[in-house]
Amino acid sequence: MKSTQLRIAIAAFLAASSTTLFFNPAQAATPINSSIVSTNKAAAPTATTASASTASAKTTTKTDASTTSTATTAKASTASTTATNSSASTVSTAVSTASKNTTTTAKSDTKASSKEATTKATDGPFSDISKHWAKEAILAMYNDHFISGFPDGTFRPNVTISRAQIASIYNNILTATNHLPKDKKTVTYTDVPTDNWAYDAVEHVSEAGIMKAESARAFNPSSTMTRQSFAITAAHFADYLGIKNDNSKKAIQFADSNELSSAGKSAVTQLAQEGFINAGSDVLFRPQDTITRAEAAAILYRIYTHTTVAPIVTPTVTASNSNAQTTTTVSTIAPTNLQPVTQASTQSALEDAVFTELDKLYKTPGNFQNHGVMYWKDNILYVAVKSAADMDTLEKAFTASSNKALTQSVVLESTKYSQVEYDKIAANFASFYASKQPNGKIIASYPDVPHNQLIVNVTESYPYMQDSVASAFGSKIHYFVISTPDAQSTTNTNK
């Protein structure tokens, strides 16, 4: 299939299957920043859709899915990813609420049994946090009118959240603690008009320097955030509140520090030094994961109450949805100074150049999908292969090529699974999920190559989902519950 035909086919597929991920009806669909490259140029795209991410970029014309994989920059480096506890090691987004100090009140059943009444009193208005690790922070933030829940009496702690909602949480805390910016500055964003529900909140956090535009004059209010992006705003928030870092000389380590940007590393180091997150050589931060309501509530609760996190006793990885993880090692070969490729035509040309070398190695066009996976991340092309020998062969071929882009804009890395194997995992999970939750939908599924697992975004959870998914798939699946328009968080202005 020619490049133009692929472009048309995938554009049509994405248009037909994409789902808007948001809480507020005024919000729009979230952008993506990475995408899988079809490993068989003659084949039709597989049935996966694009995922949400914080940094927006154009989807490659030869892709059918997106990925949140992150690259390392050291040549031939090894990144060790180890299990950690989500309550201690993850920095995540704030919880949904309106820009004013408003909260949701769940109606209690007057005929409830004494046991049910006790549960409601203990868990506040929320029916789904009784055994959640962030319960204390969630209830404290709710009682202080900083966050809200859903009309059905749930909090949905593992659901993602938008930048506008995060701004709203910050604004609620600043207002309640008399920390609103005194010096008014005119901050205008092209995508946050004055009639937007979060306009005041976005203005205030921008004036305070807690959050800023993502590109040009765009705030991207409906975009979700990565843990790294939120960590940066949380560090700004701590600075704005005047929290003094008494441990600024303390050395901080994470198992995946090489996946952090310089700004991200500075932010998580500060937060760890101040005791708001845990750190350690065996603690996985997962900077490119999308953050959740519960994780954000915990981080912000610690910051505004000056409460330090409990130290990790036995490190076990828990993703944002508490899926179990296993230790993995990923080898990466990358140029010292990566050069992003931003033009679609140039990206297509680079893909063609890489496929030329892959066809030489694997003999038959399309055979690469049995040996690896290729994807775009932040305008850098990643080629992941299962064989270390194949990686060495490709490195030599790229170095010998007259096409300098192969050594300037391509990262080689190892992978446990090929595209064919990821597709099988996706198909098996689709059948499994449909049998467990008939009312749910899979919004997106895409490989997270550095962590050797498939990321899956779903619309609904079900009882004991964490345990059943772990039992059936081990660490192969890392799922997120994503809010959709028919399940919006609302507030009660009378409380």
Q: Which tokens in the block code for residue 20? A: 């808007």
Instruction: Please determine, for residue 95, whether its predicted confidence score (pLDDT) is greater than 50.
Output: no
Report d(CA 194, CA 150) in Å as an integer.
Answer: 26
Give the pLDDT band of residue 206 (cuts 50, 70, 90): very high
Report d(CA 368, CA 364) in Å as an integer.
Answer: 8
From the list 253, 197, 204, the residue with the least C-alpha distance to 493 is 197
Instruction: Please determine, for residue 404, whether its predicted confidence score (pLDDT) is greater than 70.
Output: yes
Q: Which tokens in the block code for residue 294? A: 């519960």
Q: What is the pLDDT of residue 311?
A: 62
What is the rounded average pLDDT of the residues 437-447?
89
Amino acid at 227: R
Report d(CA 397, CA 299) in Å as an integer.
Answer: 47
Name which residue leads in pLDDT, 259 or 187: 259
Q: List helix spans (H) across 177-324.
A: 199-207, 227-240, 262-273, 293-305
Q: What is the DSSP letter of 331?
A: E
Instruction: Please determine, for residue 193, whether its predicted confidence score (pLDDT) is greater than 50.
Output: yes
Report d(CA 370, CA 39) in Å as an integer.
Answer: 9
What is the rounded average pLDDT of the residues 74-91?
30
Q: What is the DSSP letter of 144?
A: T
Percent of the chain with pLDDT over 90: 40
Angle at CA 304, nearest 5°, toward 298 and 310?
45
Q: What is the pLDDT of residue 35?
A: 59
Instruction: Please determine, for residue 118, whether its predicted confidence score (pLDDT) is greater than 80.
Output: no
Q: What is the pLDDT of residue 36?
A: 64
Q: What is the DSSP letter of 262?
A: H
Helix 262-273 × helix 227-240 angle, to 10°: 60
What is the rounded average pLDDT of the residues 64-88?
29
Tens-digit pLDDT profile for residues 231-240: 999 999 999 9
- Are 429 and 47 spatial neighbours (Cβ–Cβ below 8 Å)? no
Amino acid at 93: T
Name which residue leads in pLDDT, 116 or 123: 123
- Are 385 and 371 spatial neighbours (Cβ–Cβ below 8 Å)? yes
Name which residue leads in pLDDT, 298 or 86: 298
What is the rounded average pLDDT of the residues 308-325?
47
Instruction: Please determine, for residue 87, whether its predicted confidence score (pLDDT) is greater than 80.
Output: no
Instruction: Please determine, for residue 176, whether its predicted confidence score (pLDDT) is greater than 80.
Output: yes
**pLDDT, mean over the chain:** 73
Q: Which tokens in the block code for residue 370? A: 């049995």
Name which residue leads in pLDDT, 35 or 478: 478
Angle at CA 100, nearest 5°, toward 99 and 106?
100
H or E stretch at 118: helix 114-123
What is the rounded average pLDDT of the residues 350-355?
93
From the list 303, 316, 237, 314, the residue with the least C-alpha distance to 275 is 303
Instruction: Please determine, for residue 47, whether its predicted confidence score (pLDDT) is greater than 60.
Output: no
Instruction: Please determine, for residue 303, whether its predicted confidence score (pLDDT) is greater than 50.
Output: yes
* 372-377 and 380-385 beta bridge pairing: antiparallel
H or E stretch at 414: strand 410-414
Name which residue leads in pLDDT, 218 or 17: 218
Report d(CA 283, CA 462) in Å as an integer.
Answer: 29
Please provide the distance, in angstroms rounded to a whole number, between the alpha carbons at the two ends of the chain.
Answer: 59
For the ranges 39-48, 136-145, 352-361, 385-394, which has the lowest average pLDDT?
Answer: 39-48
What is the rounded average pLDDT of the residues 95-111?
33
Q: What is the pLDDT of residue 260?
A: 93
The reported pTM is: 0.46
| Helix, strand, or coil (residue 220) | coil
Q: How many CB atoms lie within 10 A of CB 134?
A: 25
Q: What is the pLDDT of residue 104?
A: 32
What is the rounded average pLDDT of the residues 218-234?
93
For the ranges 28-42, 105-119, 358-372, which has the lowest average pLDDT?
Answer: 105-119
Q: What is the pLDDT of residue 492?
A: 34
Helix 293-305 × helix 135-143 angle, to 10°: 70
| Helix, strand, or coil (residue 28) | coil
Give residue limits of the domains in the chain: 3-79+328-420, 86-305
Which residues touch 30 (CB under 8 Å, ≥6 apart)?
A: 20, 21, 22, 52, 53, 162, 222, 223, 224
Q: What is the pLDDT of residue 82?
A: 28
Q: What is the pLDDT of residue 21?
A: 26
Instruction: Please determine, for residue 274, whether its predicted confidence score (pLDDT) is greater than 90.
Output: yes
What is the rounded average pLDDT of the residues 416-444?
91
Give the pLDDT band of residue 93 (cuts 50, 70, 90): very low
Give the pLDDT band of residue 37 (cuts 50, 70, 90): low
Q: Which tokens in the block code for residue 169? A: 């949480």
- Are 420 and 369 spatial neighbours (Cβ–Cβ below 8 Å)? yes
Cα dist from 317 to 60, 88, 94, whole Å: 32, 10, 21
Instruction: Please determine, for residue 316, whether its predicted confidence score (pLDDT) is greater than 70.
Output: no
